[in-house]
Structure 1
Amino acid sequence: MAVVDLNEITVAQPLAAERRGVSITRRIWRAAFASYEFRIGLAIFVILVAAALFYPWLSGIDPTKLNVSAKLNAPWFIGDKWMWSAPLGTDQLGRDMLVRSLVGLRYSLLIGFSTVALMLVVGCTIGMLSGYYGGKVDLILMRLTDAQLSIPMIILAITVLGVSRPTIPAIILVLGLSSWPVYARVTRSVVMTERKQEYVRAAQVSGASNLRIMLFLLAPLIMPPVIFISVLDVARMMIFESILGFIGLGVQPPTPTFGNIIADGRKYLLNAWWIATMPGVFLCFTLTSVNLMGATLERARNRIYGGAL
């Protein structure tokens, strides 16, 4: 009769589970990248990010510098000549709209990605603890999650930022701490299912700590269900950042953001419509590219992750 080495079992099962989570995530990315929709969205996104990062620097134009003699110049496609210094026109103070829109995109992306990163850390941590330990820990953390869900995010953001100075860290903190419950619930459901599996028991028998089990065995399995949520949330956070800027609770002038540029331009919609329109066009293209990638990832996840479980 063959002799079974328990040490090999307790090591092999956790390693196989860890590889399974990473493998599923890679398969989702590969399946999504095979779609032309994902590649189109990725191409648009990369072009916009590269332009936002490098064009203001390469042009040497200060987005906050006033030039009243060049105010309200029209974009090249409706003007009588090409303006190399301001191809998308200037605003009411003579500031270049292309540079201001790209700098606004830079801040919008920074806030969007930073907010989603905070949401992931907070939500996945709470969901992991709740699902793994269960009992009173689960009860307390889920009631906290329910309480957070009962508070509309935009109301909380307006309340907090209305009584404090709306800096970039403050905006990220408010948006991030008001939007984590979705990640907590998704993580909890995955962990509650996986903690009953044999590989978790094998890891416990082999002496692995709870922290090691959560970080190296369960965390990779959380990535597939939350990956498309996080991509779509980047677009959602960019919209909320623009809304806050439009009502005066975002990043404050003279720093250009989509929200405050559009808010300034609404006074000139009749004779200088490009002031409010150009930031909206950049925002529209960015959100379209992110949504294309997120929707493709969601379809790939539904095909692969569902079958893998």
Structure 2
Amino acid sequence: MSVTTAAGGPIAHKPAQRSIARRIFDKAASTPGFRVGLSIFVVLALATALYPELSSIDPTKMDVKARLLPPLFLGNNWSWAHPLGTDQIGRDMLVRSLVGLRYSFLIGVASVIVMLAIGCALGTIAGYFGGRTDAVIMRLTDAQLSIPMIILAISVLGVSRPTIPAIIVVLGVSNWPVYARIMRSIVMTERQREYVRAAKIGGSTDARIILTLLLPLLLPPVLFTSVLDVARMMIFESTLGFLGLGVQPPTPTFGNIIADGRKYLLNAWWIATMPGLFLGLTLTSINLIGASLERARNTVHGGGEG
């Protein structure tokens, strides 16, 4: 792939970032862990997308006549209407768990996008321009790292009614420094390479070099790494929900369902266990996919292929 000058003429060749990303993905996809993780994730995604709609069960609707029904597999609940049982006010646990998975995954992915956008932008600017710009951004990064996520969450979400956008912003703002440091170190190395110097000589602006040369080259490996952070953000979101700082009832999320179910662990253990099981399976699938991508990335770059 050629690098062009501001006038549009070719001046150099930059690394084939598309082929690097493709090699990373192909190598990961050939591993058993990736295939198992993807299979689990696809099944959960289809169930989350289809079952709540096809069942027509309202996850927030109370039915006191059906309260505390045990799961079907226990043998004393012969109705398929509630295969995973019901909670203390008769709400279906399967639908509530699947809807909770929707919200948890949405918040996890969106918060990772926020942290990627902030961290990669600031890290790229710091690494490319260096000097005072780098010093200011790195001090801002250090300041952010000194604030624990839970403290920031309590400060922001504890003084107002938590909403999905607010939770996404809090999680994203709490974790962007990691990506800023990664991008800074990579960009500081890449800016010395021939294709960047050639672009400067050819008259390309700094903004053009960053947007058309560096970011397309450096983002794919970082995106692969960020898959693991989706699982981490889902855990944080569930923790906030359990503490009462997440999405508020009656909207079902893993955190508030498990918090409600802890009062019934002795006589209705499935209320807390079922959403925990779905969360565990989802995290396992994402971690298997993310770990496979991370190992493949390290192998490709460590083997000199990058």
TM-score (norm 1): 0.94
Q: What is the CA–CA distance in structure 1 between the aligned matches of 2:158 and 2:192, rounded to whole Å?
A: 46
The answer as to 2:84 corresponding to 1:88 is yes
Q: Indicate which of 231, 244, 256 corresponds to 1:260.
A: 256
How many Å separate the matches in 2 of 1:208 and 1:79?
71
Q: How does 1:208-247 map to 2 (within 5 A)?
A: 208-247=204-243
- Counterpart AA for 1:104: G
**In structure 1, distance between residues paired with 2:155 and 2:146:** 15
Kindly provide the amino acid, as one letter, of the partner of residue 106 in structure 1: R
2-side partners of 1:225 and 1:47: how far apart?
26
**Aligned runs of 1:63-212 on 2, under 5 Å?**
63-212=59-208
In the alignment, the residues of structure 1 paired with residue 122 and residue 112 of structure 2 have an alpha-carbon distance, to the nearest angstrom, of 15
Instruction: Specify which of 31, 39, 42 is matched with residue 38 of structure 2.
Output: 42
Paired residue type of 1:197: R
Classify the secondary structure of the residue corresponding to 2:72: coil
CA contact (8 A) 1:120 1:180 kept: yes
Q: Which moved more, 1:77-86 or 1:288-297?
A: 77-86
Letter in 1 for 2:184: R
How big is the shift at 1:211? 1.4
For 1:30, give the aligned amino acid.
D
1:68 offset after TM fit, Å?
0.3
In structure 2, list runs of 5 or more residues that go unmatched.
none
CA separation in 2, counterparts of 1:41 and 1:215? 33
CA distance in 2, matches of 1:105, 1:217: 37
| In 2, Cα distance between equivalents of 1:209 and 1:264 | 56
**Is the Cα contact below 8 Å between 1:244 and 1:259 reproduced in 2?**
yes
Q: CA deviation at 1:159?
A: 1.7
Retained in 2: the 8 A contact 1:25–1:223? no
* d(CA) in 2 for partners of 1:224, 1:106: 25
Indicate the SS of the match to 1:164: coil
The percent of aligned pairs where both chains have the same amino acid is 67
- Partner-residue secondary structure (3-state), 1:110: helix
Q: CA deviation at 1:58?
A: 1.0
The secondary structure found in structure 2 opposite 1:254 is coil
Segments of 4+ in structure 1 off by > 6 A? none
Separation in structure 1 between the aligned mates of residue 296 and residue 182 of structure 2, nearest angstrom: 18
| Aligned Cα root-mean-square deviation (Å) | 1.7
Partner residue in 2 for 1:11: 10
**Alpha-carbon separation, structure 2, partners of 1:79 and 1:140:** 64
Superposition TM-score, scaled by structure 2 size: 0.95
Q: Which residue of the partner structure matches residue 308 of structure 1?
A: 305
* Alignment length (residue pairs): 301
- Gaps in structure 1 of 5+ consecutive residues: 1-5
What is the alpha-carbon distance in structure 2 between the residues aligned to residue 11 and residue 146 of structure 1?
A: 40
Q: Secondary structure of the equivalent of 2:104?
A: helix
What is the CA-CA distance between 1:239 and the residue it aligns to?
0.2
8 Å contact from structure 2 (residues 239, 255) kept in 1: yes
Partners of 2:51 and 2:289 lie apart in 1 by 24
Please show how residues 24-63 of structure 1 align to structure 2 within 5 Å: 24-63=20-59
Structure 2 counterpart SS, 1:214: helix
Q: Deviations over 1:170-205 (max 9, x none)?
A: 000001011000100000011000001111111112
Alpha-carbon separation, structure 2, partners of 1:282 and 1:49:
11
Aligned 8 A contact 2:11 2:202 in 1:
no
Q: CA deviation at 1:46?
A: 1.2
